[in-house]
Structure 1
Amino acid sequence: MAVKTETETTVETALSAQLREGTREDHARAESTPFVADLMAGRLDVAAYADLAAQQHAVYVALEAAGAALGERGASVALPALARVPAIESDLARLWGPAWRDRVDLLPATRRYAERLREVATTLPGYVAHAYTRYLGDLSGGQIIKRMLARHYGLADDVLAFYTFDALERIKPFKDEYRARIDALELTGDERRAVVAEARGAFDLNRAVFAELGARHAPAP
């Protein structure tokens, strides 16, 4: 029987690899929702994008408050360079004006998502699960979404700040570094399994938001 090398074992058991494999199908289901497909294909309008940003604002307020509450426990993964709340607020102010908060109409699915974050993301495993799904998604598929929004809706960078990470020099090396930071966390086997399970739940929560956005913003006939 072949004996695994230390390198092979490390790669196989790395938490970031477990997250990638454990959420692959959930990720695909979230990306294939009709709302996302319609938005990416230019079948909706700027109002749909603004509503998406408003829902994201509630999610990131909860996530980033939880990250701050972790303090030193989460210092290696709750990074200021990733903070999205100021960018979303800038986008909404440009889309809806200075009184943008008065126009926010949170969906029931968004409220459930934010509540789940407040419940679990103040623990390190809970935070890692949600930070992985949100930030690495923004740095990957989010960059494609940014290009499609600019192409189909004529949106300028000043209303797409959410997808722009000015504090990062290069995205690809940072993603590798962030995965390495996740892998370096000292978590028990049970905690690792909890991270993967919670990340799967995060995709379900996100998909529910997309479903309700789709019901609110149908493409023109």
Structure 2
Amino acid sequence: MTIVDPALSTVIPFSRLIRERSKASHGTSEGTSFMTDLLSGAGSRDDYIALVRQHHEIYTALETAADALRTHAEVAPFLSSALTRLPALNADLTFLVGDDWAERIPLLPTTVRYAARIREVAATWPAGYVAHHYTRYLGDLSGGLHIGRVLARRFGFDTNGIGFYLFDQIADPAAFKDTYRAQLDAVPWDDAERERVVDEVLTAYRFNTELFVDLDEARGTRAA
């Protein structure tokens, strides 16, 4: 399906509209000092472990909800076992911390709110769940692949510790993303619903940015 962008006076695919409307938010989340330091060498292994722990909670919310929405017409086209991240996150945390990682590594306030929002929309508004699914997984298949390679070099990992960033069942991430976007374009949402979905994508980006702020503050506490 397509939508008219008044600024461009042309009909553009909905997936393109989402990308254009969220472009500024994407740059904001990537530009936080936490991720900049982690990727440049100023961040520590403990910083990385804290990030993995937050990811585990977020993807628990996403993938538990996916089980309940698997037969929903609006959601089902986007669900793929090739995207599943929880087994990798469990393995990463066990490797990095030990079997007691859940007790040793705390959840941060934004993580709790973020996961709660995912569960809320999954239970009440399936299109809103798709917005979060799109934001997380297509991001993982884009910048996430690069992040995994950088972290592997920084911390001397092979596959242990960075399994979250490895998509062994997806041979061609670019083609996978193209198919995903085509599925977004095909969902028969009206203009009002598409606007709500775009707004929820922006909400997901805000959560992501606020999470990096929390992580930055937490590492300051550890260093103090």
**What is the TM-score normalised by the length of structure 1?**
0.90
**CA distance in 1: counterparts of 2:117 and 2:202, whole angstroms:** 13
Work out the number of aligned pairs and report it: 213
Per the alignment, do residues 187 and 103 of structure 1 end up closer, same or farther by CA in structure 2, a change over 3 Å counting?
same
- For residues 6-58 of structure 1, what are the alpha-carbon distances to aligned partners after superposition, in whole Å with 9 as ceiling and x for unaligned? xxx9x943221111011011111000001010011011111111110000110
Residue 216 of structure 1, CA deviation: 1.4
Which of residues 102, 125, 128 is equivalent to 2:127? 125
1:23–1:199: 8 Å Cα contact kept in structure 2? yes
Which ranges of 4 or more aligned residues in structure 1 deviate by more than 4 Å? none
Q: How does 1:57-76 map to 2 (within 5 A)?
A: 57-73=56-72, 74-76=75-77
Alignment-mate amino acid for residue 186 of structure 2: A
Alignment-mate amino acid for residue 71 of structure 2: E
Percent identical pairs in the alignment equals: 42
Q: Does 1:38 align with 2:37?
A: yes
- For residues 161-210 of structure 1, what are the alpha-carbon distances to aligned partners after superposition, in whole Å with 9 as ceiling and x for unaligned? 00001111221111111111121112121111111000001000011110
Shifted more, 11-20 versus 77-86: the winner is 11-20
**CA distance in 2: counterparts of 1:69 and 1:191, whole angstroms:** 22
Q: How does 1:45-194 map to 2 (within 5 A)?
A: 45-73=44-72, 74-122=75-123, 123-194=125-196
**CA distance in 2: counterparts of 1:72 and 1:52, whole angstroms:** 32
**CA distance in 2: counterparts of 1:186 and 1:124, whole angstroms:** 13
> What is aligned with 1:216?
218
**CA distance in 2: counterparts of 1:27 and 1:121, whole angstroms:** 23
**CA distance in 2: counterparts of 1:38 and 1:133, whole angstroms:** 23
Instruction: Compute the RMSD of aligned alpha carbons.
Output: 2.0
Which of residues 203, 210, 213 is equivalent to 2:205? 203
**Unpaired stretches in structure 2, ≥5 consecutive residues:** none
Residue aligned with 2:189, SS? coil
**Unpaired stretches in structure 1, ≥5 consecutive residues:** none
Per the alignment, do residues 154 and 181 of structure 1 end up closer, same or farther by CA in structure 2, a change over 3 Å counting?
same
**Larger RCO (CA under 8 A, 6+ residues apart):** 1
